[in-house]
Amino acid sequence: MISISPAAATHIHRMLAKRDADETGLRIGVKAGGCSGFEYVFDERTPRDTDAIFEGDEGAKLYVDPRACVSSME
């Protein structure tokens, strides 16, 4: 389970407001690279069909690519 703190929710809302786009939350994903062969990426956007969605204070949303989750969370 992931929870979004009030401070993180404020930051997510602030980032989205700066971009003034149709994006609705912060997405955590992975891509090839880094020491382990993968690196985390963070960007503002709308969720993909396979993303887990978590909602915090005042509707702040976090979208998590299933590949970014550890196997014990599956």
- CATH number of the domain that residue 18 is part of: 2.60.300.12
Q: For the whole model, what pTM was predicted?
A: 0.71
Q: Containing H/E element for 11?
A: helix 6-19
Residue 54 inside a domain? The answer is yes
Residue 1 inside a domain? The answer is no
Q: Containing H/E element for 65?
A: none
Residue 33 inside a domain? The answer is yes
Domain with 59, as residue range(s), is 6-73
Q: pLDDT tens-digit profile of 7-64? A: 988 988 888 888 777 778 888 887 777 676 777 787 767 888 999 899 987 889 989 8
pLDDT for res 44: 66
The length of the chain in residues reads 74
Residue position matching structure tokens 């997405």: 27
How many domains are contained in the chain?
A: 1
Question: Comparing C-alpha atoms, which of 45, 44, 48 is closest to residue 67?
Answer: 48
